Structure 1
């Protein structure tokens, strides 16, 4: 009996030690910024500042390459550009840089690297600073960034690769500023988000109550959500301890919200992920997403009848006209993606006028995280994505 107990203790101790060593190997990447990761993995990045028409100061990273082949990476809601590089050599940013593309990575307003404004202070004026949704991110942030990249590269067009709500910005921009359709070779959507009727998992449970939740946040004066400093610090404290962090933060919470793929998101990656996530968002963005779900319409922000009449000239907010999104579009969808579901993507595919490529990923467990954080992107994503980028860039 004692021998069996001793043997069990040795095995358990060995498993614990190896799990901790795996985690420690990721701690360096967890602590590095985008430029630190870029330097570590052999493709140093330069930093640019872009000031939008409404005064937000964005940080834009660039891996210099062939200037005739610019590619802009657009992150989704709550991450930063770190999502495109924190997988190191297996990341999309490093892979594209290694292939010679001129790679640019945006950081949307209010996130970790772009928490600045020419006059507003996010800490002392949060109600004014964080008063934006994905509409403003599209018509101001994305447009200004595209113009800056084209100016710096002396090109007329660029390729855009976006993820999650980053794809939403493409559709809003193409609809609200149609002239930008002609500035994009192809708009590539990884886990496209426009319609939310068929969202699954925890998100499907929360979405029906999202308007009430964001209304409560407004009453409490909470405008910034999922901040890198506040929420991120708490998550790192809880989720970095292994194996607890992986079992609870990843397998229960993350997989429950975004889709299950333990092969694509392993325990050793957990500290790296939470070292960079979340990057910041706003209450208003989630309120807008709640409106999209409740009204089942991809439409402008609903301010209420009186303000809608003032802003839009109609009592209800107008839909974004997807028929105006004439840029070539490629849609990549995962069967295990709980947010960008196949059914909603098929509806979007029928609504866009110029879809040149539509791919439901063959890997059956392909989830929302696998498009940017997946361990097996080289096998499950890049063989489909890279030829599209090459063809149209």
Structure 2
């Protein structure tokens, strides 16, 4: 395996190239957002085009007990945590002592709502009298067949007596403040919002009319032109200082600080973790950076962890993310965030447009899907959000470094040397991880984190793990199906429930 030099990562550019590259960065993000958004609309009436639903409010609307907590990390970022319990168990004060406390960590371009939004009709139930291991898969499926709460793993766990904590990672809308007041939000005028929405809608409509919405070249060129016009018509405001973080800071500071806080409040020695995509990557990176964290964890379940990427031949978008290396800021810019998501939410209003326009476009980025992965745009405003450029860049850098996860490269040998002591950032040594209760779940048609990526990660570990590849309907289960597939109860949630409740992990 050839390890590329950090010289391969973009460095100094002339003025025109910088302007073009940053336009391309925002364009790429918009493409990803468009693709994510129409895929991740979860088909419920909770969203509003005029406001963003808070995580705590949605959980409470289902009848569960939810309380916001805030953790200030060692580097001064303030993170939103929501503690969730079942009012039918311990009067909602906590989960049962004999059950796990479970922390959920979401992926990229998303927030904690992604775990609970597919839960229309969910309500508290008390299943603590059932022994999950003794019941087995068949009986559990029968028990939960008509329970809407089983569509969302956090609610399912609470109904079995577990306490759940939902983390909104730094950069997501509910975690954009810092102790020094230099926050990560900027607003724009209502006139500017209308302009962004109008221009994006016009572009999408033109692509649809020309029958070119699913062609990457035309999609990119058209959106690049739109972004260029937006830059000329809107005076952007920089909030870049807040966004000077990558996955590294979240692994070094956020993960251990959040784990310690939950242990303190819940009065537990150990907690369990479920990490999706970037959330799974951060979990592994944290355990490699500081192996002693393993002593504070019970079970760890990873859904398509975005680590050691690049072995999947379908992940063609990943190398482009290197363009974000020298870009410090939100992607897309926070001033345009609401307008973009509102525009996307209206892009596929009918079943015909969902299947002929939106699904092919999302499949282009995230892998093949099927009609069980419900497409609906009305939840876009809530579930999706801007992300830091450095976080995106680090995914692309992994491909540059031969598919092995490294610390963030600043694209300059001198700057890397000042931070790491070497011209190139060191690799994360996953063999340092000592936790023996790690489970992996992957999607058979995942276009970003493929089965090869997961197997490479498992081989890098010094501990044995188990791995379940989810096929889904027609053998299709892609990167975002973990949140939106109509059959999550049987495909994912029951298997995860059984792993959380098992005393001994089945090792393959």
Give the TM-score normalised by structure 2.
Answer: 0.67
- Equivalent runs, 1:62-81 vs 2, <5 Å: 62-64=83-85, 65-66=94-95, 68=97, 69-81=100-112
Which residue matches 1:240? 346
- Equivalent runs, 1:341-352 vs 2, <5 Å: 341-352=450-461
Which residue matches 2:361? 253
Are 1:51 and 2:72 counterparts?
yes
Are 1:143 and 2:256 counterparts?
yes
Distance 1:76 1:320, change over 3 A: same
> Contact 2:276/2:302 (CA < 8 Å) preserved in 1?
yes
> Displacement, 1:384?
1.8
Are 1:298 and 2:405 counterparts?
yes
> Displacement, 1:379?
2.0
CA distance in 2 between counterparts of 1:249 and 1:47 reads 39
CA distance in 2 between counterparts of 1:250 and 1:45 reads 34
Which residue matches 1:26? 44
Are 1:214 and 2:243 counterparts?
no
Are 1:92 and 2:148 counterparts?
no
> Displacement, 1:381?
1.1
> Displacement, 1:254?
2.2
Structure 1 segments unaligned to the other structure (5+ residues): 1-22
The worse-fitting range, judged by mean Cα deviation, of 36-45 and 186-195 is: 36-45
CA distance in 2 between counterparts of 1:74 and 1:67 reads 22
Are 1:271 and 2:271 counterparts?
no
Distance 1:200 1:33, change over 3 A: farther
> Contact 1:200/1:339 (CA < 8 Å) preserved in 2?
no
Which residue matches 1:37? 58
> Displacement, 1:25?
7.3
Are 1:381 and 2:492 counterparts?
yes
Give the TM-score normalised by structure 1.
Answer: 0.85
SS of aligned partner of 1:161: strand
CA distance in 1 between counterparts of 2:413 and 2:499 reads 43
CA distance in 1 between counterparts of 2:502 and 2:426 reads 35
> Contact 2:116/2:154 (CA < 8 Å) preserved in 1?
yes
Query: May I ask how many residue pairs the two structures share in their alignment?
Result: 362
Distance 1:100 1:226, change over 3 A: farther
Are 1:172 and 2:285 counterparts?
yes
Distance 1:98 1:228, change over 3 A: farther
> Displacement, 1:208?
2.5
CA distance in 1 between counterparts of 2:447 and 2:321 reads 16
Distance 1:332 1:24, change over 3 A: closer
Which residue matches 2:267? 154
CA distance in 2 between counterparts of 1:186 and 1:333 reads 17
Alpha-carbon deviations, 1:11-34, whole Å to 9, x = none?
xxxxxxxxxxxx997233456332
Which residue matches 1:318? 426
> Displacement, 1:37?
1.8
Which residue matches 2:466? 357
> Displacement, 1:315?
1.9
